[in-house]
Amino acid sequence: MEIEDKHILITGANRGIGLAIAKMCAREGAKLHLVLRQPNAELSSQLRGLGAKEVSVYLADLAKREEITQLLLKLDKVQVDILINNAGLLTGGLIEAQPLDDIYSMLQVNLLALIQLTRGLLPAMVERGQGKIVNNSSVSALMHFPCASTYAASKAGVMAFTNCIEAELKGTGVSTLCLITPGIKTRMFDEIAVKYAKNLDVPQDFIQPDEYAERIREAIKNDDSYLLPTGMTAAGLSVSRYLPAIFRWAVGRRFRR
């Protein structure tokens, strides 16, 4: 699908991967609808300066179901062509050490908000016979490390959800793209070290958000179903899939209780 002139809704667009996607879409001449937690006039003018045809901002805390309901009401008149479910939270550490409130908020933002927004915006796309849902999952959906239990569960959920609706949408003109996102140098990437370091030596491979946004641009334009990692992360993914005993052994060597 082309990006120019499309109405694109991006959650978590103020920083990290979401900001890089917003800038990429602005350079392509999209009409942007950003879901943020705080107003950010500077961001809107930056994106207009890069070439965005429109920039609208909607404030919502995606950890709150009622705020997503209100957001969907505000979006009622917007013909969203591409929904990019990007906002996310990280949890980490031994399962018994993860605060329950953090686990609930993370599942709400990473999984339930993504489901609620998709469910809310899909019917109009199907009616128009055109649209795309882009869901930001993670290599954690497929590579299961200690200390990542609840976060990995959320991202495996994102992947399963995306696969199921892809099948449901066959023949409707609406497609899905699941991002199997590797390490990207953002606030969340830096948080991994803090949350996991006590128990796990975390691999430090990463790429920059702008480089990843370019890959996402290509995947959207090519109507790919998946954006898979490359390089060392791709190699790790293959080992986890085809040589699981070796993967578990290698991970076990990095872990201490």
Ligand X SMILES: NC(=O)c1ccc[n+]([C@@H]2O[C@H](COP(=O)([O-])OP(=O)(O)OC[C@H]3O[C@@H](n4cnc5c(N)ncnc54)[C@H](OP(=O)(O)O)[C@@H]3O)[C@@H](O)[C@H]2O)c1
Give the residues lining the site for ligand X (CB under 6 A). 12, 14-18, 37, 61-63, 86-89, 109, 136, 138, 181, 183-184, 186-189
**Nearest to ligand X of 52, 111 (CB atom):** 111
Distance between CA atoms of residues 242 and 56, nearest Å:
45
CB atoms within 10 A of CB 166: 17
- Grouping H, G, I as helix, E, B as strand and the rest as coil, residue 237 is helix
Minimal distance, residue 189 CB to ligand X, in Å: 4
**Nearest to ligand X of 86, 162 (CB atom):** 86
| CB within 8 Å of 55: residues ≥ 6 apart | 26, 32, 34, 44, 47, 48
**Nearest to ligand X of 56, 172 (CB atom):** 56
Of these residues, 104, 151, 196, 212, which one is catalytic? 151
Minimal distance, residue 88 CB to ligand X, in Å: 2
The count of residues in the chain is: 257
**Nearest to ligand X of 105, 172 (CB atom):** 105
Structure tokens that stand for 79 in this block: 């013909």
List of E strands, the chain = 7-11, 31-36, 54-59, 82-85, 131-136, 174-179, 226-227
DSSP per residue over 99-121, as a string?
-HHHHHHHHIIIIIHHHHHHHHH
Minimal distance, residue 159 CB to ligand X, in Å: 11
Minimal distance, residue 32 CB to ligand X, in Å: 14
Closest CA to 177 of 86, 100, 49: 86
Distance between CA atoms of residues 166 and 97, nearest Å:
36
Minimal distance, residue 224 CB to ligand X, in Å: 17
Residue 151 known to be catalytic = yes
Catalytic machinery residues? 151
